[in-house]
Every structure is written in structure tokens, then in C-alpha cells.
Amino acid sequence: MALAFRLDGGGEGPAAPRAGALTTDRGEVRTPAFMPVGTLATVKALTPDEVAATGASIALVNAYHLYLRPGHRLIESLGGVHRFMGWDGPILSDSGGYQVFSLARLLRVDDEGVRFRSHLDGSEHHYTPELAVEVQSALGVDIAMPLDHVLPGDTPTPDQRDAAERTLRWFDRSQALDPAPALFAIVQGGVDEELRRWHARELAAREAPGYAIGGLSVGESKAEQYAMTEVACRELPVDRPRYLMGVGSPEDLVHAVAASVDLFDCVLPTRLGRTGSLFTDDGRVNIKSARFRDCATPLDPDCDCMTCANYSAAYLNHLFRNDELLGYRLASIHNLRYIQRLCERMRAAILGGDFDAFADEFLARYQPADEAARTEQRARWQTRPRA
């Protein structure tokens, strides 16, 4: 699968904000870019056209889930995952390493792979690096992730080192298969700076077409997440895309783009939307709150999404108070468009040479759900090195 990456602006250092473009056989992805998560080949409750209308140019599916149900060979026989789900643009697939270690009942982990029982029916499986590549190749995705060993953020360093070394060996086996999809490498290492740095350097030497940063947003603090992201980025090739896995809070995206991350994915925008929690530049709001009961204006007058263009906050409040399914859809559309607009605004700021000013203003205004986290994030941003 042909894959190319170019820088359009920024990137004055190994960990500086940058705007670029990822070119695939199925289209171009302008970065920074957010990938809506279609775990089971669907972004929950939305059609592919609705997802594309939010500004998304690339989507994500999960190989672990599709391997278990309906099966990668079935999807292959039906023309591949693009045709299966009706998405014409590029698709990145996660191998499912995180899901194997978090959802399944683990039986054994060794250098050969992972033995587990399915969280669906208890059936036993032996998931190897080779099988992960086979599944993603059968799906016909544009970008694939190798099997990696993911541990919680508070795991002691010796165990993190074992997992990082195993992830390296698994990547070597995966890369040796020369799969059709572009195979990214995944940087692990927990919250140990030296381990992260070593792992990133080892993978950089293997000249992958792109690099993912994994094992974050799994229980570590925000400060640790931001620090490990920057540590990894400083060691990765500047001419290859960087992808921060599983991170999707607005404030986290701003910090990650500042460290030169290009790609993101997360279930957060749609998962929060289904609970009635909607993004604004002031932070999340609960649309079920009584203050929106008679609000005749859109939730966010500055938002150009289909929801804000056509419906009042009072109507959304009504839908959620009555558990109407349309509410989940409209909220998901808004949250996805909000994140896409944020990426567009960051790209414009980078190209205009004023990303720092944009980030300062955004982080001063945006209030995360946890006020302590907000204070920590602002302090870290204000004291960060500017190189």
C-alpha cells in the first residue's frame, strides 16, 4: 500500500507543532487529523456519510473485534472492510493489542503471542503477530498496527521493559512479512523516560512508514502522558507520521500537537455524546441540565455541524430527557465535528505561525471535567520548553 507523508508547515524541531498531509491510495489526510473510531466497522449510530460530513477523512476499525465477529475471512470474501462498511476513504486498523489485554481472559503471554478466551463466547484463541497481520491484510486496510504488549500505566518498570522488548520482537516478525497495508511501529515503555526513549530509538532504526505512541491514557497522570508523548516524538524520524493512540480529549490533543503528533483516535467524542456530554470551547456541558430546557439557540453558535445548524439546545435537552435515539446521534455528530474543527483550527494556526498563541488562549479557556487536571495542564503548558 503506497503511503507518503509531507510537511506543509511548522515542525521546526523534533517535538514542535507541525501541519502535514498523509497520502494513501484512497485519498489524502491533512494533519493534525482525528480518526473516528468504528470498532466493529461502524462509528456507533452514524452512517459513513454522516461521519465524513463532520470533516473526517480517515476512519479506524479494530482487528481484534472483527477477527472474533464476524471474522476477517468473511469480510475479505465480501470485498474487504471498505466495501463492507461503505467507507471510501483510508482506514487504519488497530491490531487489538489493548483489547486482548483488557477485555479477554488471558491464559498465557509469551514471545509466541497471546492465548486468551474471547470476551464474547469464551472460545480459546492464539493471537500471534503473524495472525494480527493476516487479519488486517484480509480486511484490506490502508494502515495496520502490529500486535503489541500493553500494560497499565502504573506497571513497574521491569515489567514494562519486558513488554517493550517483546513488542520490539513482535514488530520485527510482523515487518518481516512485508504486509500489503503500511505497517506502523508502536512505541511502548510506560512512564519511564529512558525506557520510552530507548524503545523509540530502536523502532526508529527499523524505518517503519509511520510510528504510533501506545501505552498512554491507561491510568498514568496527565503530566506523565504529556511527558512520555514528547519523549517519544523527540526520538522519531521527522519525515514519518506520528500517531498517539487512544487519546481524544480536546486539551490532550492541543498538548500532543504541540509535541508534533499528527494523528489521533479515541471513542471519547461519541461515547460522551451518547451520555449527553457535549464539547464546547469552555469545556464539556451536560445537555440534560435544566438550564437548557428553554434555550432557543444552538448549543454552540460558533459550531457549523449539522446539529448546531438545525437544532436548538432545548430540543437536544428534550431528546435526552426522553431517551430518544436521535439525541445520541445528534450529540455524536456535534462532538465529532467539534474535534475535527479543533484539528482544522490547529492546522491553520500552525500554518499561520501562531500556534503558541492559539494554544495559550484555548487552554486558558477550556475547562476539563476535572479542575485539578485543568490546573496541572495549564501549569505544564506555561512552563514547557519552547524548542
| Tens digit of pLDDT at every position of the chain (387 positions) | 689 999 999 998 889 999 999 999 999 999 999 999 999 999 999 999 999 999 999 999 999 999 999 999 999 999 999 999 999 999 999 998 889 888 878 889 999 999 999 999 999 999 999 999 999 999 999 999 999 999 998 899 999 999 999 999 999 999 999 999 999 999 999 999 999 999 999 999 999 999 999 999 999 999 999 999 999 999 999 999 999 999 999 999 999 999 999 999 999 999 999 999 999 999 999 999 999 999 999 999 999 999 999 999 999 999 999 999 999 999 999 999 999 999 999 999 999 999 999 999 999 999 997 655 545 444 554 565 544
Query: What is the three-class DSSP state of 33?
Result: strand
Domain tally for the chain? 2
Which residue matches cell numbers 503500511? 182
Give the model's pLDDT for residue 384. 55
Show which of 272, 306, 333 is a domain's final residue: 272
Task: Indicate whether 295 and 335 sit together in one domain.
Answer: yes
Q: How far is CA 90 from the centre of its chain?
A: 15
Domain of residue 204, residue span: 3-272
**Element at 339 (helix H, strand E):** helix 325-351
Res 379: pLDDT: 56
pLDDT score of 328: 98
**Quick one: 137 and 103 in the same domain?**
yes
Q: Which three cell numbers stand for residue 223?
A: 503530566
For residues 380 and 153, give the distance between their C-alpha atoms in angstroms, rounded to a whole number.
20
CA pair distance 244, 265, nearest whole angstrom: 7
User: What confidence score (pLDDT) does residue 154 get?
Assistant: 87
* Residues 289, 225 share a domain: no
Q: Tell the burial category of 334 from Cβ atoms under 10 Å away from its Cβ (0-12, 13-18, 19+).
A: buried
| Last-in-domain residue among 272, 296, 312 | 272
Residue 186: name the closest of 130, 232, 153 by CA: 232
142 is catalytic: no
Q: Do residues 300 and 217 share a domain? A: no
In angstroms, the CA 196 to CA 173 distance is: 21
Q: Which of the following is catalytic: 94, 148, 262, 300?
A: 94
Q: How far apart are the first and last CA of the chain?
A: 35
Residue 377: the pLDDT is: 46
Q: Using an 8 Å Cβ cutoff, are 288 and 317 in contact?
A: yes
Catalytic residue among 192, 252, 262, 265: 265
The pLDDT of residue 105 is 85
Q: Which of 216, 249, 272 is the last residue of a domain?
A: 272
Check whether residue 253 and residue 324 sit in a common domain: no
Regarding whether 305 and 217 lie in a shared domain, the answer is no
DSSP 296-328: -S-S-TT--SHHHHH--HHHHHHHHHTT-HHHH
b/e string for 1-28 if b means 16 or more Cβ within 10 A?
bebebeeebbbeeebbbbbbbbebebee
Asked whether the bond before 70 is cis by omega within 30 degrees of 0, the reply is yes
Query: 3-state class of 30 per DSSP?
Result: strand
pLDDT at 372: 55
Residue 31, beta-bridge partner list: 20
Q: Are residues 227 and 79 in the same domain?
A: yes
CA 166/CA 111 separation, integer angstroms? 6
Q: Confirm whether 265 is a catalytic residue.
A: yes
Query: What is the model's pLDDT at position 100?
Result: 87
Whether residue 177 sits in one domain with residue 62: yes
Question: Which residues are CB-contacts of 205 (< 8 A; sequence separation ≥ 6)?
Answer: none
Q: What are phi and psi of 157, to 5 degrees?
A: -55, -40
Residue 107's pLDDT is what? 86
Q: Name the β-bridge partners of 30.
A: 21
CATH code, 86: 3.20.20.105
